[in-house]
Amino acid sequence: MARRSTMLSRRGLLTGAAAIGGAAALSGGLSACGAAGAASAADPDQIQFWTLLSGGDGGTMADMVAKATGSGAAYDVKTTTLVWGEPYYTKLAMAATGGRPPELAIMHASRVPGYAPGGLLDTWDVGRLAELGVSQDDFPEEIWKKGMIGDKVFAVALDAHPTVLMFNPEICDKAGVLDSDGRLRKTESPEEFIDLVSQVGGQTKGTPPLSYGYLGDGSQMFRLFYTFYTQHGAAMTFPEGGKAEIDDDIAVESLQLMQRLLDGKLAVQRNDYAAALAEFATGRSGLLFTGVWELRSVKEAGVPFDMTAIPTLFGTPAAYADSHAFVLPHQNEVDEHRRDLTYRFVADLLKGSYEWATAGHVPAYLPVTQSPEYAKLTPQSHYADVAERVNYDPAAWFTGSASNFHSGFGNAIQPALMTGKGAPGAIDAFRARVDRLLKTQNPVDPDGTWKP
Amino acid sequence: MTAAVERPLVRTAASRARTATTTGPSREGLVSWGFLAPFLVAFALFLVWPLVHGLYLSVTNQSLTGAGGSWVGLDNYREALTDPTMWRALRTTVWFTVVSTIPLVILALVMALLVHRGLPGQWLWRLSFFMPFLLASTVVSQIWVWIFNPDIGAANSVLGALGIEPIAWLQDPAVNLYAIVIATVWWTVGFNFLLYLAALQNIPDQLYEAAAIDGAGPWRRLTSITLPQLWPATILIVMLQVLASLKLFDQAYQMLIGVSTDTTRPIVQYIYESGFVGYRFGYSAAISYVFFALIVVVGVFQMTAMNRRRNLS
Amino acid sequence: MRSRQTRSPGEKGAGRVVAFVVLALMAVGWLMPFLWAVATAFKTETDAASESGWIGGDGLTTEAFREMLSNGNVWIWALNSLWTSLVITVLTVTISALAAYAFSRLRFPGRRWLFAVIVAAIIIPPQVLIIPLFYEMLTFDLIDTPWGLILPQIVAPAMVFILKQFFDGVPIELEDAARVDGAGRLRVFWSIVLPLSRPVMAAVAIFVFINAWNNFLWPFLVINDTNLMTLPTGLQTVIDAHGIQYAQTMAQAVLAALPLIVVFLFFQRQIVKGVATTGFGGR
């Protein structure tokens, strides 16, 4: 304290400045906050829009928004991109709980069953949508129904993004597995498909011909597994409070096909997502199991490629998919004007979703996919039929993209894929996990009192 | 710091004696509450009430969304104590505390001893070591995520120059907790450094003068005067550091988004995840109290250790 | 604060040189990460995303800063950080000082007991309270409002403790004289005690401000509206739709760090002292 006297003046200045600044902030600041809080209020035509799309998808979405707002639209849109996955869904739930969320947000359709029961989402007014030219008839049935709980619509799909098979037409042509139209030869059983893959293997110079990466990626494992499972025409249902209904034989057969493919000759036995993608994108392998969203990155890599639905190997056409869908996060006080603008904005985005197809996704809005313009779009039009055979995650509060269910599936299955052994045990482990989750009430509605 | 901690114990008694001679108690009582009211209202609203209410929430199935809230008794605690994820998070937290506290104390001491020698450039030394402490956790995380980037990060470039294979710092579960430790040491060592520096300045000159007369060399002076004199400060610093490290959340959460965090999830992150990611407020509140119990036990243990020492000396 | 250049008479050139070199190496090591961030911020995105040296192949550029500033969010967040931190500081210091004065000078029933409770509360980690506090803010409808952000941050029992210890050390005679002249308690506090306490008040204020400016967890929980976010939470939550832009990310980090570094350069001595006196308050 000996220095107090010499430091008084400077400190006095500091304290004074802080006090003045503080007072200014208290008066001016709070009005400023009023202004900031009202920044949206000041512009009654601005819609806050949250997405989890970044990279190529984010850029495409930004273009679509710019197009929608540019043409003398009645609304202005502020798009906010949040970190993909769990951080996004956490923030969205917290915002909806607080009652002052953005007017509009994008969600994976598979997450809606876990979200809606807590009152986190407002419902879409079907009549209002229809006035704007958006109705159930404009969507493939499965995709529209995925946005519904009971008879209420909680989500309107923008797209379906299924798992598909990419192939390198040059390599496949040399291997003689293409038909006269340059499409991959049809295969209708696991054996036929394995024959096709080994034939391609003759042209890949020692690299296994099929690329599939899954290590540490539960979603990636579930996508392929569930594609094969549903191709059996089998369902997988998770009744709340009950036991998982999984057809064990079919599940084991599906997993065993994955094991047969991952034998080290047809496909590298232990590969991760990025490495598998790189194998294909550098032209070393001829086939790749992946999602449509990789279209752009493979295109940019400059390798010749085409895409097709995953061949129907067990009788029923089916592919795992999810949808990006529009939702209305629950607001305590709805601004009807803004909500009206939100409806219009969504209708405009759906009608402009041709652009979205360039990112690989299959637009959900049929007038777009049925347009002559879209039919000319390659390779997109080569797999547009997948939209008719999509299979989402089994509905439950705990399933969906970026959920723990996927990582739990991965933990149960990965050892079997890595060793090529113990498929029945892996399915048992998976079932046990699901049963444990089914015993727990949906935490957004722990007393189970919610009704749609 | 030492000043603030040691002096009051003597003065409080003195000032109390003085206040006793001022005006009558009844009016003063009223005035007192006037002075106290703003703080006490805030204290009650934002500290005491949440603490009590949290205890209540921990015996319900309250959800983030406002649904639920039914009484479930001790179910949440029973679940927590048998939840392997919770135990793992506790172990991670304790292990992080151990491996971060050691360098955070030793490096701070070394820095303070060197700076205290009065070499030229005092402000620069202080700025270098303390500046990171002024950064927000987000900024620290962004810088270190960048440095630890497995492909183009500076950390692997340095290793490469030394002929060492690149490391997946944040992706490899065997090393990512230590990557967090490195970032944390860089970020917060400056705080301990300043505490040590203040403590060094409080060592009376006479001790060194006497030692110089006795012909003690620098090493001798360090071991027989400086370090023993720093002992109370060291205890305080260790205590503060342990409590701070146990509260690990920001940098671990921020640096490892998108990475499987099973091996790095600290207990505070598990509180956050159960409550806000998993929507289970009741369960999360129960884990909060398990964590609180840990803090209290550690705190009380340290206090007793400190008091015992003070009584001895 | 006295330096002791003179205290090591036995120490000759060699020792000093070794100490200097060690110290310089450590200081460089400590500055390096931040300087590396600064260097990256001045690169083009292409250079930043490839393994380049301190200066990228495209030379120095302020492109990243310009990009960042043209995106309105960063300004809004910086402004939010500034004014909420100032309000938190003023409120915390005011209510803590008033309470501390009462504990130091006034006599009232339950004083010791109450003070003991407040001191004991220092140990309560804020992290333990996030769930019930969030619930409370829901009840008061304060989620996504500035007050929901500010109010829970103004309770600082440690600051009451520190200020009380300081007031205990201020000579009481001056106050007694004023009281004899008929000045009320508040007047005495305002015109006598406060002026004498400027150094400690400044130390406490700086400390509270730094903590508020950098606080992450609570603002992260209570604010979802991007127009109300503070810098640390905004930078963490919102990303660029076009993917990670390294140079821009580093430019943001540098910008967020800059105000406090400037404050430190100006008030280094006070801050150093502030940490020493308020260190007990923890982080």
Do residues A99 and A89 make contact, with C-beta atoms less than 8 angstroms apart? Answer: no
Cβ-proximal residues to B219 (8 Å cutoff; 6+ apart), any chain = none
Give residue for tokens 């083009």: C44
Whole-angstrom distance, CA of residue A387 vs CA of residue A391: 9
Residues in chain B within 8 Å Cβ distance of A85: 258
- The answer to whether the Cβ–Cβ distance between B67 and A118 falls below 8 Å is yes
pLDDT given for residue B310 in this prediction: 67
Reported as a single tens digit per residue, the pLDDT across A203-249 is 998 899 999 999 888 999 999 999 999 999 999 999 988 999 999 99
Indicate whether C2 pLDDT > 70. no
Question: What burial class does residue A451 get, using C-beta atoms within 10 Å of its C-beta: 0-12 exposed, 13-18 middle, 19+ buried?
Answer: exposed
pLDDT at C275: 75
Q: Please tell me the predicted confidence (pLDDT) of residue A138.
A: 96
Report the residue of B32, B48, B290 to disrupt the C interface, i.e. the one with the largest count of C CBs within 10 Å. B32
pLDDT for the residue B24: 52
**Residue at C148 is within a domain:** yes
Residues of chain B with pLDDT under 70: 1-26, 260-261, 310-313
Closest chain B residue by Cα to residue C149:
B46
Dihedral (CA of C174, C176, C181, C185) sign: positive
Instruction: Tell me which residue in A90, A96, A450 faces B276 most closely, judged by beta carbons.
Output: A90
Q: Which of A3, A90, A115, A411 is most worth mutating to test chain B (most B CB atoms within 10 A of its CB)?
A: A90
Phi, psi of A407 (to 5 degrees): -70, -35
Partner-chain contact A119 B65, CB within 8 Å: yes
Nearest-Cα distance to chain A for C236, in Å, is 8
Interchain CB contact of B228 with C (< 8 Å): no
Domains A42-158+323-377 and A163-321+396-439 in one fold: yes
> So what CATH class is A163-321+396-439?
alpha beta
Token output for B169: 């710092």
Contact A326, A158 (CB under 8 A): yes
pLDDT at C72: 74
pLDDT at residue B264 in the model: 85
Question: In this complex, how many residue pairs, one in chain A and one in chain C, have their CB atoms less than 8 Å apart?
Answer: 128
Average pLDDT over chain C, rounded to whole?
87
Residue in the block written with tokens 């995106």: C71
Residue boundaries of the structural domains of chain A: 42-158+323-377, 163-321+396-439
Q: Which positions in chain C touch A10 (Cβ < 8 Å)?
A: 270
**CA nearest A156: which of A365, A316, A360?**
A365
C226 inside domain: yes
Contact assignment for C176 to B22 by CB distance below 8 Å: yes
Torsion B97-C282-B141-A214 (CA) sign: positive
Select from A96, A118, A407 the Cβ nearest to the Cβ of B63: A118
- Of C221, C238, C255, the residue that ends a domain is C238
Task: Determine, yes or no, domain membership for C188.
Answer: yes
User: d(Cα A320, Cα A108) in Å, to the nearest integer?
Assistant: 13
Tell me, yes or no, whether C45 lies in a domain: yes
- A191-200, C78-87, C174-183: range with lowest mean pLDDT: C174-183
Is B297 at the interface with chain C, CB within 8 A? no
Look up residue C133 and give its two tokens: 């506090």
Report the C-alpha gap between C279 and C273 in whole angstroms: 9
Residues C106 and C15 in one domain: no
Same domain for C105 and C210, yes or no, is: yes
Which residues 244-283 of chain C have a CB within 8 Å of chain B? 246, 249-250, 252-253, 256-257, 260-261, 263-265, 268, 271-273, 275-280, 282-283
What pLDDT sits at residue A29?
39
Q: What pLDDT shows up at residue A2?
A: 35
Q: Is A411 on the interface with B (CB under 8 A)?
A: no
Q: What CATH number should be reported for the domain holding residue C133? A: 1.10.3720.10
SS3 C1: coil
Please indicate whether, in this complex, the C-beta atoms of B51 and C129 are within 8 angstroms of each other: yes
DSSP B60: B
Q: Which of residues 255-284 of B touch A (CB under 8 A)?
A: 257-258, 260, 276-280, 282
Phi, then psi, of B123 in degrees rounded to 5? -65, -35
| C269–A contact, CB cutoff 8 A | yes
Residue C244 in domain: no
pTM of the model as a whole? 0.87
* Domain of C84, in residue numbers: 72-238
**Structural contact between residues B282 and B59, judged by C-beta atoms closer than 8 angstroms:** yes
Q: Which residues of B touch A441 (CB under 8 A)?
A: 61
- The encoded tokens of residue C195 equal 């002026």
CA C278 to each of CA A217, B5, B243, C112, C215: distance values in angstroms, whole numbers, following the listed order = 47, 10, 16, 22, 17
Q: Are residues C55 and C166 in the same domain?
A: no
Question: Is residue C159 situated within a structural domain?
Answer: yes
Contacts of C239 in chain A (CB under 8 A): 54, 81-83
Q: How many CB atoms lie within 10 A of CB C23?
A: 22
Find the CB nearest B64 among A83, A97, A450: A97
Give, as one character, the DSSP assignment of residue B164.
Answer: P
Backbone region of residue C270 per phi and psi (left: phi > 0; alpha: psi in -120 to 50; beta: other values): alpha
Domains of chain B plus CATH, in order, are 90-312 (1.10.3720.10)
* Class of domain A42-158+323-377 (CATH, top level): alpha beta
Q: Please indicate, yes or no, whether residues C29 and C95 belong to a single structural domain of this protein.
A: no
Together in a domain, C26 and C78: no
For C88-99, the pLDDT digits (tens) are: 999 999 999 999
Q: Which of A97, A217, A273, A332 best tests the B interface by mutation, with the highest count of B CBs <10 A? A: A97
pLDDT at A70: 87
The residues of chain A scoring below 70 in pLDDT are 1-42
C145: three-class secondary structure by DSSP: coil
**Residues of C with CB below 8 A from A14's CB?**
202, 205-206, 267, 270
* Phi, psi (degrees; rounded to nearest 5) at B142: -60, -40
Report, in angstroms and rounded to the nearest whole number, the Rg of chain C calculated over CA atoms.
Answer: 24
Cβ distance A94 to B276 less than 8 Å, yes or no, reads yes
* Closest CA–CA distance from residue B173 to any residue of chain C (Å): 23
Domain match, C123 and C231 both: yes
Say if strands A104-108 and A46-51 run parallel, antiparallel, or are unpaired: parallel
CA distances from C133 to A173, A255, B58, C212 (A): 64, 47, 13, 17
Alpha-carbon Rg for chain A, nearest whole angstrom, is 26
Tell me if C107 and B114 make a contact (CB, 8 A cut-off). Answer: no
Residue ranges of B 1-60 with Cβ closer than 8 A to chain C: 1, 3-5, 7-8, 11-12, 14-15, 18-20, 22-23, 25, 28-29, 31-36, 38-40, 42-43, 45-51, 53-54, 57
Residue A4 sits at the vertex; the CA angle it makes with B2 and C267, to the nearest 5 degrees, is 80
Q: What is the C-alpha to C-alpha distance for residues A314 and A258, in angstroms, rounded to an integer?
A: 13
Query: Does one domain contain both C131 and C45?
Result: no
Long-range contacts of A366-374 (CB under 8 A, 24+ apart): A366/A137, A366/A138, A366/A139, A366/A140, A367/A138
- Between the alpha carbon of residue C73 and those of residues A399, C84, C146, C227, C232, the distances in Å are 34, 16, 17, 7, 12
Cα dist from B252 to B18, B70, B88, C222, whole Å = 50, 33, 15, 20
If asked whether residues C92 and C43 sit together in one domain, one would say no
Q: What is the CA radius of gyration of chain B?
A: 24
Which CA distances in Å does B86 have to A7, A264, B83?
50, 38, 5
C18–B contact, CB cutoff 8 A: no
Name the nearest CA neighbour of C204 among C97, C47, C83. Answer: C97
pLDDT of residue A233: 96
- In this structure, what are the phi and psi dihedrals at residue C61, rounded to the nearest 5 degrees? -155, 150
Chain B residues within 8 A of A92 when measuring between CB atoms: none
Whether C35 and C91 map to the same domain: the answer is no
CB of C158 closer than 8 Å to CB of C278: yes
**HEC-encoded secondary structure of chain A:** CCCHHHHHHHHHHHHHHHHHHHHHHHHHHHHHHHHHHHHHHHCCCEEEEEECCCHHHHHHHHHHHHHHHHCCCCCEEEEEEECCCHHHHHHHHHHHHHCCCCCEEEEEHHHHHHHHHHCCEECECHHHHHHCCCCHHHCCHHHHHHCEECCEECCEECEEEEEEEEECHHHHHHHCCECCCCCECCCCCHHHHHHHHHHHHCCCCCCCCEECCCCCCHHHHHHHHHHHHHHCCCCCECCCCCCCECCHHHHHHHHHHHHHHCCCCCECCCCCHHHHHHHHHCCCCCEEEEEHHHHHHHHHHCCCCEEEECCCCCCCCCEEEECEEEEEECCCCCCHHHHHHHHHHHHHHHHCCHHHHCCCCEECCHHHHCCHHHHCCCCHHHHHHHHHHEECCCCCCCCCCCCHHHHHHHHHHHHHHHHCCCHHHHHHHHHHHHHHHHHCCCCCCCCCCCCC
Question: Tens digits of per-residue pLDDT, A390-413?
Answer: 999 999 999 998 888 998 899 899
Query: What gap in Å lies between CA C280 and CA B2, rounded to an integer?
Result: 9
Same-domain status, C118 and C189: yes
Residues C35 and C110 in one domain: no
Which residue in A296, C206, A189 sits closest to B133, CA to CA? C206
Instruction: Report the number of distinct structural domains present in chain C.
Output: 2
Residue C282 included in any domain: no
Neighbours of C224 (CB within 10 A): 28
Q: Same structural domain for residues C59 and C91? A: no
Cβ-contact A395, A238 below 8 angstroms:
yes
Residues A262-268: contacts with CB under 8 Å, at least 24 apart: A262/A212, A262/A417, A262/A420, A263/A420, A264/A208, A265/A198, A265/A201, A265/A208, A266/A194, A266/A197, A266/A198, A266/A201, A266/A208, A266/A209, A266/A210, A267/A197, A267/A208, A267/A209, A267/A210, A267/A211, A267/A212, A268/A208, A268/A211
What are C116-174's pLDDT values in tens digits? Answer: 999 999 999 999 999 999 999 999 999 999 999 999 999 999 999 999 999 998 888 88
A66 touches chain C (CB under 8 A): no
Neighbours of chain A (3+ CB pairs under 8 A): B, C
Least CB–CB distance from B54: residue in C1, C101, C132: C132
Which residue of chain B is at minimal alpha-carbon distance from A441? B61
